[in-house]
Structure 1
Amino acid sequence: MTHPGTLVLIMAAAVLAPLLVYSTRRRFPVPLVVFEIVLGILIGPDVLGWAEPDQVVDTLADLGLSMLIFLAGYEIDFAAVRGDTLRRSLGAWLISLASGIALGFLISGGDTFKAFVIGTALTSTALGTVLPMLRDRGELKGRFGTVMTAVGAVGEFGPVVAIALLLSGRRPAESAALLAAFGAIAAVAVFWALRPRPPWFGRLTERTLHSSGQFAVRFVMLLLACMLGLAEAFGLDVLLGAFAAGVVTRLVLRRAAPASSDQVLGKVEAMGFGFLVPLFYVVTGIEFDLAALLDNVADLMVVPLFLLLFLLVRGVPVHVLAPKDLGRPDRTGLALFASTCLPLVVAITTIGVDQKILASNEAASMVGAAMLSVLILPWIAGRVRSESARPDTAGRADSPSAAAESEAW
């Protein structure tokens, strides 16, 4: 049973975080997620000792991570990211995976499973963290936002697939067969989503949109639960199911209720970003092993090294293979955004610790570097792109975020 004080403290931290973002935005803009994690560390057992996670809180946090990946999957417009952009994004990620695992073998001293954990974590991109930043700046629908969506989608989906194949504890052939079966069912779900919905679906969505019925929102939650359950039944990571659910939900809503899809998404985002996602990040801070990191100076010094590895393994291939129509500032910004990671680093290192592949201090070093990536890299990307963003802003004069873009960072 959750102690009510723990949940109150977590939600108080979630409320305080945007206030801190607002108060510091002009001097040094800090991403919201950083404040959420830092506040979690502050109220956690290693600092003030006010909050201790339990089974209920952990379950809500897991649901928050699933919601974050679901919303990332929903944001992807495959019609916009297919073709050369998608091929380049996939090629960059495969290079990252190969180089990441190779570095993992060096770091782990030849331990295969530890190399897989480290190497996979180095290839992730926090699409669910980056996309809200681009959305707030009004850049999500532009050329840079489209390319970043493709790069981030592969950087989010690729590691999830790698987790299913490499870290499931099964033989690779068995994992591949289960993954292929899940993919086939997901493909059937996509085909079903592309079929026209009966007229009553759209009418019921409209009629219950502002009533207690909330048919569309309940339908979205059903899709999410079904895909999570399907991934669980196949013994795959539930994040794979969450991502697939986001993709299918976008297709269903855009075809069945195009006039209401944005309003439905707004309600789901309110549930996610208003409750579940911040809860996940605050709990991540509470569970962060700060003591293990601070007890050993060597572990603390490894943090900036891992941050550099995120940039080298993930950022360099993205920079090299970025679409040719992007200028140098945009290519650099793309590489920095692609190297921004956290949710999957937390998930992957948690799997590594649970399976006794990683030590707690090693996981803390990687998560600490991932937190620095969220704090530092998007800010640098915004500064690097500030000159090239001005013409973009002029072309988006009708965007409500365009006028404030210069202050977003």
Structure 2
Amino acid sequence: MAHTGTLVLIMFIAVLAPLLVHATARWLPVPLVVFEIVLGIVAGPDVLGWANSGEVIDVLSHLGLAMLIFLAGYEIKFDRIRGDTLTRSAWSWLVALALGMAAGLLLAQGGGFERGVYIGTALTSTALGAILPMLRESGDLNGRFGTVTMAVGSVGEFGPIIAMALLLSGRAPARSAVVLIAFALLTAGAVFWALRPKPPWFAAVIDKTLHSSAQFAVRFVMLMLVAMLGLAEVLGLDVLLGAFAAGLITRLVLQGAAPDSSELVLSKVEAMGFGFLVPLFYVVTGIEFDLKALLGGGRALLLLPVFLLLFLAVRGLPVWLLAPKDLDRRDRTALALFASTALPLVVAITTLGVDDGKLGEGEAAALVGAGMVSVLVFPLIAMRMRMRARGREKAPDRGAEERADGVESW
């Protein structure tokens, strides 16, 4: 019964969070995930003590994490981020990884290589899922700035997962690389199958069951997710890599086999993910958040502003330096701020680090706290800069107007 009561409270928080987002939108656009985590902290053992995690809740939370990474993989549109833009995004992330690993190992204070990897990879992530809705609403998503931001954000989501699979497997680097290559080949085989024309009955079954209890497409999506999670586990890789690959493959399958139905299928999967599993993961993250360790006045509290600055230095600075040359200084700065916005993968990475016993509760709390501040502050500043840039682009050329008036009067 305790699990049932906690689950009811978690879902109450999941319902309350969007209402708070709506209520505060006119004064401060707070991302939904911040409310979910903060309300989880308030309900958790360190504040009100109303909720505690347990075995059942933890299983659902891990499913929520897998669904979050799956949807992140599904979001990426590689057809829009090729060429020089993708190359620059990849190089900026590799530079960030080097800086992040150096900072992570320095801050680990003898805690071992793996602790440094958890910290370092968290510093290189980008919250693409939090950024895209803002760009969509502002009208920037389909323009040049949106394309570059999507490229930078996609690499910022894909890169840390690959890095963790290589560096945290517990195997020798060469063997880890072989296993990762084997996973890549199997994934490539799945992609090849996904791109091949499907028999007519496949699309027909999807269309016929879209509004029935069979829901063939949704069940197929869940099969892809579970199968890739199982493959990653069999190969000894992080399950995040399997979830991410499942998202990429599923997008190709649905858009190739049933392009007219793919958006509706995605909306159903998103409803299941963002309506239940993903908010449950974020609320449980708040419940398990070690607020006492953060506010104890020790090292953890001092690390929070340090991590916030490191998000800018490790992730933002390389993006600013290596951004495409056609972006002016203001857009490069906005791009760097968007790239430095990091919370979902920070939560995922720190959760895994704490579960593995490699990352301290205080360090994890400081990283997540810095991530929450980053999604509150960095996108707001970046959007203001983009608004000014758009205003400058739309501003009429007074000299040209006067010259035109002179010609007409002549």
TM-score normalised to structure 2 length:
0.91
Q: Is the 8 A contact 2:3 2:57 kept in 1?
A: no
Deviation (angstroms), 1:131: 2.6
Instruction: Name the residue aligned to 2:8.
Output: 8
Q: State how 1:386-405 maps to structure 2 within 5 Å.
A: 386-389=387-390
Show CA shifts across 1:311-331 (max 9, x none).
100011111111222233322
Instruction: Name the residue aligned to 2:43.
Output: 43
Deviation (angstroms), 1:176: 1.3
Show CA shifts across 1:49-89 (max 9, x none).
10111111111111112111111111211111111111111
Q: Structure 1's 267 and 392: CA in aligned 2 closer, same or farther, altered over 3 A?
A: farther
Deviation (angstroms), 1:170: 1.9
What one-letter code is carried by the residue in structure 2 that aligns with 1:358?
A: L
Distance in 2 (alpha carbons) for counterparts of 1:269 and 1:251: 17
Instruction: Name the residue aligned to 1:399.
Output: none
2:199 is the counterpart of 1:198: yes
Q: State how 1:80-91 maps to structure 2 within 5 Å.
A: 80-91=80-91
Q: Is the 8 A contact 1:126 1:344 kept in 2?
A: yes
Q: State how 1:198-217 maps to structure 2 within 5 Å.
A: 198-217=199-218
Instruction: Name the residue aligned to 1:57.
Output: 57
Deviation (angstroms), 1:393: 10
Instruction: Name the residue aligned to 1:116.
Output: 117
- The SS at the match of 1:28 is coil
Deviation (angstroms), 1:390: 5.1
Q: Structure 1's 189 and 105: CA in aligned 2 closer, same or farther, altered over 3 A?
A: same
Report how many aligned residue pairs link the two structures: 394
Instruction: Name the residue aligned to 2:408.
Output: none
Q: Which is further off, 198-207 or 341-350?
A: 341-350
Distance in 1 (alpha carbons) for counterparts of 2:9 and 2:142: 37
What one-letter code is carried by the residue in structure 2 that aligns with 1:163?
A: M
Instruction: Name the residue aligned to 1:406.
Output: none
Q: State how 1:263-282 maps to structure 2 within 5 Å.
A: 263-282=264-283
Name the % identity. 67
Q: Structure 1's 138 and 246: CA in aligned 2 closer, same or farther, altered over 3 A?
A: farther
Q: Structure 1's 11 and 389: CA in aligned 2 closer, same or farther, altered over 3 A?
A: farther
Show CA shifts across 1:146-186 (max 9, x none).
22221111111111111111112222222111111100000
What one-letter code is carried by the residue in structure 2 that aligns with 1:47?
A: V
Q: Structure 1's 276 and 94: CA in aligned 2 closer, same or farther, altered over 3 A?
A: same
TM-score normalised to structure 1 length:
0.92
Deviation (angstroms), 1:230: 0.8
Q: Is the 8 A contact 1:2 1:57 kept in 2?
A: no
Distance in 2 (alpha carbons) for counterparts of 1:250 and 1:379: 30
Q: Is the 8 A contact 1:69 1:128 kept in 2?
A: no
Q: Is the 8 A contact 1:336 1:378 kept in 2?
A: yes
What one-letter code is carried by the residue in structure 2 that aligns with 1:16?
A: L
Q: Structure 1's 278 and 390: CA in aligned 2 closer, same or farther, altered over 3 A?
A: farther
Q: Is the 8 A contact 2:3 2:56 kept in 1?
A: no
Instruction: Name the residue aligned to 1:71.
Output: 71
Unpaired stretches in structure 1, ≥5 consecutive residues: 395-409
Distance in 1 (alpha carbons) for counterparts of 2:104 and 2:20: 37
Deviation (angstroms), 1:354: 3.4
Q: Is the 8 A contact 2:128 2:154 kept in 1?
A: yes
Q: Which is further off, 33-42 or 113-122?
A: 113-122
Deviation (angstroms), 1:138: 4.5
Q: Structure 1's 30 and 207: CA in aligned 2 closer, same or farther, altered over 3 A?
A: same
Instruction: Name the residue aligned to 2:246.
Output: 245
Instruction: Name the residue aligned to 2:96.
Output: 96
Instruction: Name the residue aligned to 1:316.
Output: 317
Instruction: Name the residue aligned to 2:230.
Output: 229
What one-letter code is carried by the residue in structure 2 that aligns with 1:326?
A: L
Distance in 2 (alpha carbons) for counterparts of 1:132 and 1:69: 17
Q: Which is further off, 196-205 or 87-96?
A: 196-205
Give structure 1 regions of 4+ aligned residues with deviation exceeding 6 angstroms. 391-394
Show CA shifts across 1:4-35 (max 9, x none).
11111111111111111111111111111111
Distance in 2 (alpha carbons) for counterparts of 1:372 and 1:312: 15
Distance in 2 (alpha carbons) for counterparts of 1:255 and 1:368: 41
Instruction: Name the residue aligned to 2:407.
Output: none
Deviation (angstroms), 1:371: 1.4
Distance in 2 (alpha carbons) for counterparts of 1:216 and 1:373: 36
Q: Is the 8 A contact 1:121 1:159 kept in 2?
A: yes
Q: Which is further off, 222-231 or 306-315?
A: 222-231
Deviation (angstroms), 1:196: 0.6
Q: Which is further off, 116-125 or 39-48?
A: 116-125
What one-letter code is carried by the residue in structure 1 that aligns with 2:75?
A: E
Distance in 2 (alpha carbons) for counterparts of 1:260 and 1:114: 44
2:377 is the counterpart of 1:379: no
Distance in 2 (alpha carbons) for counterparts of 1:52 and 1:97: 35
- The SS at the match of 2:171 is coil
Deviation (angstroms), 1:137: 4.1
Q: Is the 8 A contact 2:127 2:343 kept in 1?
A: yes
Q: Is the 8 A contact 1:2 1:55 kept in 2?
A: no
Instruction: Name the residue aligned to 1:365.
Output: 366
Distance in 1 (alpha carbons) for counterparts of 2:71 and 2:375: 18
Instruction: Name the residue aligned to 2:132.
Output: 131
Q: Structure 1's 7 and 374: CA in aligned 2 closer, same or farther, altered over 3 A?
A: same
Deviation (angstroms), 1:364: 1.3
Q: Is the 8 A contact 1:81 1:147 kept in 2?
A: yes
Distance in 2 (alpha carbons) for counterparts of 1:226 and 1:136: 35
Unpaired stretches in structure 2, ≥5 consecutive residues: 396-410
Distance in 2 (alpha carbons) for counterparts of 1:143 and 1:267: 30
2:297 is the counterpart of 1:296: yes
- The SS at the match of 1:50 is coil
Q: Structure 1's 353 and 68: CA in aligned 2 closer, same or farther, altered over 3 A?
A: closer
Q: Structure 1's 312 and 47: CA in aligned 2 closer, same or farther, altered over 3 A?
A: same
Instruction: Name the residue aligned to 2:167.
Output: 166
Distance in 1 (alpha carbons) for counterparts of 2:45 and 2:310: 30
Q: Is the 8 A contact 1:121 1:344 kept in 2?
A: yes
Q: Which is further off, 37-46 or 288-297?
A: 288-297
